[in-house]
Every structure is written in structure tokens, then in C-alpha cells.
Amino acid sequence: MSEPVGPQEPGDAGGPGDAEPFGARLWAATRRYGPLCAGIDPHAALLDAWGLPDDVAGLERFALRAVEAFAGEVGVVKPQSAFFERFGAAGVAVLERTVREARSAGLLVLLDVKRGDIGSTAAAYADAYLHADSPLRVDAVTVSPYLGLGSLDPFLQRAAEHGGGVFVLALTSNPEGSQVQRARLEGGATVAQTMLDGIRERNAGVRPQGSYGAVVGATLGDLDADVRIGGPLLVPGYGAQGGTSQDLARMFGDVWDHVLVASSRGVLGRGPDVDGLRGAVREAREDLASAR
């Protein structure tokens, strides 16, 4: 196992081509475009709705059309890796191209992979997504901490070395998540709060925010946790999944400047027309701005 990763220094996490750590780059992007993060989720139902075949050609047309529409409208896109991986090596090749095109267009790419393992395996996953020399290098990834927060140290280390970011699953909206996330440890703290506290420690002292974030669902209702982690909060569930801008303002008002609101179906459902996709993004941006 690698040594535990300590607090990042504001200037020490930039990789080649990245003058600033991910947390600072994300801060600048959300100041410019607002908190909306547009999903790129090419699942079969959406491919069909767009009139595309459920094959690699349809996958590529879908993903690149989304990149075209979102460039200049949002600061961050979030491809869901599983919907590319289901096509095997050819699908992963499309994912590589999608990432490359998105980053070339000035978008930050947050890859939703939810990886989590230990030791050399975790390090290999981290190299795959966060190392500057990887063909699949992205700006940030989602990870699962339920082998212990320390098991994520290889991800945190690669992020610090190459200017990347890591979003740790903390409080998800799926009903089954509470079995683990809201379980209480000795002393009374929930597992989720322990994860959030650990992220806060690793972000300590970094301004305007650290590069280590947490995933907290928009449809949880009452937020029974301290989410002031000194880093970004990825909040899925807005829009088509039922979360409203008023819910977000109530739950995250104290940390709104650190919130990154993910929307996939609510935006992608307006495709395949580029103007339709851009219109959906602009409506969501205005809705989120009105809730502040």
C-alpha cells in the first residue's frame, strides 16, 4: 500500500499541460459557466431516442454530438464509462476519442467509473485514468471507498501528481446505499460522515478548494451529514431523477460555491439536435442560478 496522502499544496498538483490543480481549474470553470455538469450517457434507450443504432457507430455519433453541443455551454462533462465499455475494446476506443475531443474543446472531463480496489490494482486503475501519459487520461474520476478510504490513496496520489481530481462516493441516492453509508461506527458517526471527514482532512489548507470531492445525491431529502469538505461536491439526481433546484438550495446552500450539479437524461433527452441540447443546458443553468 502507498503511504497516506496528505494535504495538497496549491501549486504542487499540476501535471503537464495543467498549470493548476483540478480543484482550482474546476473552481474557475464553475465561476464561468455555473455549476451544471452535463452527462454523456449513451445507453441503449437514448441511442434509440436519437434514432441511432445500438452499435459502436451509434455510440460514437452520440458521444461526439454531445461534446459538440456542450462545448462552450458548460465547464464539465461526465461520460459514464459503462455505456462505452459494453461495446468492448471498440467502445473504449470511442471513449478515448470522446475524452480527447472534449478536453481539446476546453471541457473538463469527469469520468464516472466508480473504481475501487487495493494496492497495485488500485494504482493500475489510477494510472489508467489520471496519469498524464495514459491514452484515457481525464481530469477527474469517481471512486468507491468501501474497501476503506485508505484504499484510495493511489488515486489521490496520482491526482496530486498529475493535476487530477477524485470524487469519492459518500451519500448516494439509491435506497440500498444506506445499508453501508448510514451505518454507525463506534462513537456514533456514520460511515458516510467518516468518509467526508477524511476527504476534508486531505483538502485542508487548499484554496479556493481542494481536488478531492464527494458524491452526494440530490434526492436524499434531509442531508444528515456535514458536507463542508473543502472540496467539490458532485450532486447527481437533478432534473429527470426528481431533484429540483429548490432541493439543492436547501440542502447545499452553505456550500453552494463547491457544488457541481450533474444532469444526464434531463439534458440528453432533448437530443439529437445540437440546438435542442444547448437549449436544455441553458434552461438548467438559468434554473440553478435562480435558486441561489
Tell me how far apart the alpha carbons of residues 177 and 9 are, in angstroms, rounded to a whole number: 33
Please report how many Cα atoms fall inside a 13 Å half-sphere around the Cα of residue 249, on the Cβ side.
Answer: 9
Pick from 207, 25, 42, 16: which is nearest to 107 by CA? Answer: 25
Q: CA-CA distance, 16 to 64, in Å (whole number)? A: 25
Could you give phi then psi for residue 263, rounded to 5 degrees? -140, 125
| Helices and strands (DSSP H and E) totals, the chain | 12, 8
Q: Considering just the CA atoms, what is the radius of gyration of the chain in Å?
A: 18
> Grid coordinates standing for 183?
451505518
Residues annotated as part of the active site: 114
